[in-house]
Structure 1
């Protein structure tokens, strides 16, 4: 494929491991190669998260896609390498690029020694069918099926080991960005990847408070910096938000180990696009669902500190879990009562079949009546005695009997309200939409 294409799409996935590397870094590698070839980015690079419930994912289950060609028209800054600004153009036309040079270049960065890492590269002259993305973000696709789709669309693909990465790579090209956010990622020099890195916690808090449209920067309940990865990857930190210009300013507010490159990605993070409304009977393993039902069993604590309760709809019952990493979110779950109507957002665990909650919307709180005293005799005014559970009351003196509901009750003051509750930032998934975003305005792709 040399000089044949009017803006080629390149999708890459499953190149990292649980302990290192990052697929997004390959965008930097590709862009440096593009500069040498006189080619340009057409539109911003894309970071596309896929089904977070897939058991064989490496870490965040994110694929990347770039579109390359000879750029023209409006251009905007989407990155910087060694002080040199990187631009993305709005339009692209024919350009000459030997894509065969790219494969060995990228392969040098694949963590092939990791058993669960199975990279894939897809190169296409056109956007792939959108349904491919929706299936990859909500369901499970197999490699053979995706290969057939790629061949039908005249796309080239390259598999390493079992090549499972072609699934995510294809989905990243198929994504239409109907909902989107942005993430700005900073990268360390390659000789610094294994070294200790530093991010000033106070600077993260200050940035979070000074920026309006960023999100999930810091967890104030758990004193947790959420912008830096857990393992020693090429990424120093990443800031998520809705306004590109604000993100570019936000990175300069962070005091940290020096970095030598950054890129701004268009992404499906924070969109809830992995979730689908289901009835309980239709729930299947590896899905991510929205379920509406009534609480039929209140939360119980199990080993590990997890809180489990049960809901039902007209089709069945299912357990819902707030696991220990959700921290104080479990306090909300523990206050649910039988009869409360809720909407649960989360992923399906197969064994035992349970919903791992990302957020919950309390639609209606049941009225809980608590007995405070036996009734008074309507004749003599004395407190009546109970005849036993469910049998009512009797006055010893007057021999008058009253039913069970004649007792004096008070309405329990519920400690939770009919509103949204979400897990803390420390337990937030990439695709899960923070409640903060629901209050923000919409934006156009730049």
Structure 2
């Protein structure tokens, strides 16, 4: 978790206003349109926005100044992420700036920091994460991809699953097994792998929303310089836990949920004249429940941020936010889809990819964005550690207490 203390002169309201104005002025209108309408964003959309943030000094701003950041506190980073999401900015792709970047400035050598931190901050080098494998998803310690030392290189063989944006990536930060003789967590190491290395094959996985987000990546006798080992052999599990704690800090993703609730309300307002009084009453009751649940999630998130800012981490905060945030998201997307009536069954992946016709008043076209969010929302209970695993973490921590 972040340890930065809040600046005593940090004015959150003024900063949020500055973020809103920056998004209004600097976000490409075409990118904003895509985010607002659930249209597929390509790599250039993300890179363009991240480069604009870098020019402002707001990309990687939570990094320490010595590493090229601005020492933002967790409170300031949260305010930025939430406010920019509310106003339809793309998410920041985390694999570089939020994951391997902090790993490198915390555990990496000086040579590794010089080689990689600048490219991450400038969004000139795109990273992906090699963690999950067939039969080793949430049970990450069961991974089988092996790396055998051969002189000045490791030879890597195996496969990784669900490698999001590997087809865009220049580099991968990857967990590999360097020792299979003892406790499984002890034999894992953390490697940086150039995706252009011979022997790497990336095959697409098209998910339920009909879009190519993720991949299976194969390694066949891939030679990786030993200088790309981060930390010592066998320290990969410790590094992975550090990385995952950062991944889950803001996993409640409340800014996008606030914007989604506004979209749901707009959908209901359009549909209301055609509904019977009882239907309107039932929708209003369901909307009120979802609004209350989101309000409670916002309060819970803020409480945990206060605890993290004060250096009091109970060990379950990120897991609680992951579970509850997913439950609220899936309830919202289900309601949004149901509010379309029979058209809620409509989804056109080609429409989402192209965006053509999204200005149409045809109800099946309007329903497509809601259906996309419903379909994509299913994966939230899986990635970042399944909700079942997170509940086990919560229960074990509470029982130990």
Larger Rg: 1
TM-score, normalised to structure 1's length?
A: 0.28
Larger % of strand: which? 1
Larger % of helix: which? 2
TM-score, normalised to structure 2's length?
A: 0.30
